A and B are shown apart, each in its own frame.
Chain A
Amino acid sequence: MAEDDARRLAGIEEALRRYYAVEAATVETDGLTVRRAMATARRRRRTVWAGIAAALVLVVVGVAVAPRLLPDRPVPATPGPAPSSASATPTPTLTGPARENWFAWRQAPDAPIDASDYRRAAAAHGVYFVGGEVSEVTGKEQCRLLPVRYVDLASDQWSELPIPEVPRGWCAADAVGHQDDLYLLVGKDVEDAVLAGAEVDLPTLQLWSYRAASGAWEQLSSPAAKTGWGNVVGLAGGFVRIGVVSDDDGNPLSAEYSWFDYATATWHEGRVSDQSPAVLRAADSFAYQDPIRVDGRSLVLFVDWTVGRPAGGAVTLTTWDPATNQRVRQTSHELSDEVMQNSQGNLEFADPGFVLVGSDSPANPSTKAMLVDLRDGTWSELEVPDRDGPISQRHPGAAAWATAYFPDDLAGHLVANGYLFNPVTQRWLWVPEPGASPPDSELESGDASVEIAPSLRCDWGHPPLPCWRLDVDPVESIAGEFSAAEIAENNRR
């Protein structure tokens, strides 16, 4: 049976390769020209004013016509009140980097990573790397397991952990960091079935924990091994695996879960309390990878997109607490075609429960985003800076690195079009981007360096990997502030 399953999967892979090769060969590039792309880009700039005029006309017409159209469309949630802009204490105006050399790269100890396939688990004071070296043997990928590596981010020093003598599903087993410890879910798993041709559902999953304080591995109780399981999502109190049981046609029937509770070191398994189509679809497409905090609770967020006809669509956001198996909230919102086109895969989350939909898509620049407050399901429209406006000419939006580098200082900030927005204070910030690190500056396009942590970057290649550490002035001395009025002015141009 196992050989038959593996043979069928290999047959499907081969069929897909042939199908795609044949289909792709039928495509010509007629009509696809660089001149046309450049001309289109220039024309877009010229049509901004025409677009504003047209938008004004549409607004006027829409006010008159909308009441007749609304009954045929999904009903969006009621826009909520704008988040409070009151701040208990006045905050100083920020003006950008206080000095020219506000960042510096310095050489760090080499990284002994030689894994070609790995997972990274962030712990309290460092990062674990779990992986191995993939090679192809007689047409099949195989994995040579390597020791787990750990880098202490205070000293940038690397160490090697003893490796438990257990089978792993693949080079990179599921790994989760919690405090200073590492949890490793190993054994034959569904991924092995694809890549190594093994049985899909052999009950050999094992959970191991590496305790940093004692430097010892400990085997914990095992979860049930089932088919169709996704990745581990680490939350504050434990981690969860979510799987979908499908019918013979691949349609999702039910979402199940295994929750490991750090406090009790036990597994809890069952069906997800919310079996709505939105949750099933989100679970089936793994649209739940990012944990989110809502009012201090660490939750799973299922995101389900529904594409509208002929345009637009809707997004359904469902928060779920695997510790209690309770759905916390489900909220659905209609999306304009502009936001729909811009928002796929571009959600931003921030404490205490904000989601920004439609933050950015460089191919379809937008100045509109939807801000959802998951605490009560209300939403409001947010005007975000146009990347081609005067603000971006003075201060290009490049703040994505900053929320990772300053996770505490910038907690509660969303990244919107490369700028920082705090929904609670309504404050907009710009943060410059540090120059390229030494390995980046030497790389040709297409090569790669790897970000070990926001402050540590290594040149990817043969070990040991040369690494550089990034030191940055405090965020309050490098951030600049601008107002919503400036955004409106920026976007009118």
Chain B
Amino acid sequence: MEVPVAGTDADFERFVAENAVALHRFAYLIAGDREDARDAVQDALAGAYPRWSRMVGDPGAYLRRSIVNAHVSRWRRHRRETPVAQVSETVEPGAPADRVLDAMVVGDLARDLPYRQRVALVLRYYEDRSFAEIGAVLGCSEGSARSIVHRALLDLRGRTGGRDG
């Protein structure tokens, strides 16, 4: 049993106002396409709204899981079609050039990881989620989430070869 959240339209509006940016960015990082990400968030919110009064647990985790589940097809279609130049059009202000290059290379390679690994990395290294929280979104145990993240890092290490050093 989870804690029920308040279920009025005002609660829903307040939640969206406070979380829309974070949800949109999360969706974008797993989708790689701004329009798709916006649609995914919109769909998730539209799906959540009628159930708001009955929703249990953390609505943020609920919506992230909805986005992850709903978006797999779109992301798979797009991930190999995204031009490399689009990977990072903006550089970190003041960062040394070699560090930015590392981030671009690693980030680009992360786009080709299996879907669950990719989602887990975004949750871990963008949202700073605990492994328990990652497991809640992915629908797996905390230990599994830890393993998925670890496996993704090992894959990236293999794919980067000597480039990350």
Interface residues of A (CB under 8 A from B): 4-5, 7-9, 11-13, 15-27, 29, 31-34, 36-38, 40-41, 44-45, 117, 119, 170, 172, 174, 190-191, 193-194, 200, 227-228, 230-231, 246-250, 281, 284-287, 289, 305, 307-311, 313, 337, 340-342, 344-346, 361-365, 387-388, 396, 401, 433-437, 440-441, 443, 445-447, 449, 451, 457, 470
Residues of A within 8 A of B105 (CB): 15
Nearest chain A CB to B34's CB is how many angstroms away? 6
- Whether the pair A27, B45 counts as a contact (CB closer than 8 A) is no
Nearest chain A CB to B94's CB is how many angstroms away? 12
Interface residues of B (CB under 8 A from A): 1-5, 9, 12-13, 16-17, 20-21, 24-25, 28-29, 34, 37-38, 41-51, 54, 58-60, 62-63, 65-70, 72-73, 76-77, 87-92, 95, 99-100, 102-107, 110, 113-117, 121-122, 125-126, 131, 138-144, 146-151, 153-161, 164-165
Residues of A within 8 A of B12 (CB): 34, 38
Residues of B within 8 A of A22 (CB): 88, 90-92, 103
Interface residues of B: mostly helix, strand, loop or mixed? helix
- Whether the pair B69, A37 counts as a contact (CB closer than 8 A) is no
Instruction: A33-B16, A34-B12, A307-B73 given; name 8 further pairs at CB < 8 Å.
Output: A20-B125, A29-B20, A40-B46, A41-B47, A45-B50, A284-B151, A361-B66, A363-B66
Q: A230's closest neighbor in chain B, by CB?
A: B147
Interface residues of A: mostly helix, strand, loop or mixed? mixed
CA distance A167 to B76 in the complex (A): 41
Residues of B within 8 A of A362 (CB): 47-48, 51, 62, 66
- Whether the pair A12, B157 counts as a contact (CB closer than 8 A) is yes
Q: Given A12-B160, A194-B150, is A445 in contact with B58 using a C-beta cutoff of 8 Å? A: yes
- Would you give 12 A-B contacts (Cβ < 8 Å), ordered by A? A20-B29, A20-B126, A26-B89, A32-B41, A34-B12, A170-B146, A227-B154, A248-B158, A281-B114, A285-B148, A344-B72, A449-B3
Q: Given A231-B141, A285-B117, is A246 in contact with B158 using a C-beta cutoff of 8 Å? A: yes
Nearest chain B CB to A353's CB is how many angstroms away? 21
Residues of A within 8 A of B28 (CB): 23-24, 27
CA distance A287 to B144 in the complex (A): 9
From the candidates A38, A246, A446, name the one contacting B49 in the complex (CB within 8 A). Answer: A38
- Whether the pair A26, B151 counts as a contact (CB closer than 8 A) is no
4 closest residue pairs by CB, A with B: A19-B107, A363-B66, A250-B155, A37-B45
Q: Given A11-B165, A230-B147, A434-B1, is A40 in contact with B42 using a C-beta cutoff of 8 Å? A: yes
Residues of A within 8 A of B59 (CB): 445
Q: A170's closest neighbor in chain B, by CB?
A: B146
CA distance A299 to B107 in the complex (A): 37
CA distance A10 to B110 in the complex (A): 15
Q: Given A16-B110, A21-B92, A41-B50, is A191 in contact with B146 using a C-beta cutoff of 8 Å? A: yes
Q: B46's closest neighbor in chain A, by CB?
A: A40
Most chain B C-beta atoms within 10 Å of own C-beta, residue among A24, A32, A363: A363
Q: A172's closest neighbor in chain B, by CB?
A: B143
Residues of A within 8 A of B66 (CB): 361-364
Most chain A C-beta atoms within 10 Å of own C-beta, residue among B1, B100, B140: B1
Nearest chain B CB to A105's CB is how many angstroms away? 10
- Whether the pair B70, A174 counts as a contact (CB closer than 8 A) is no
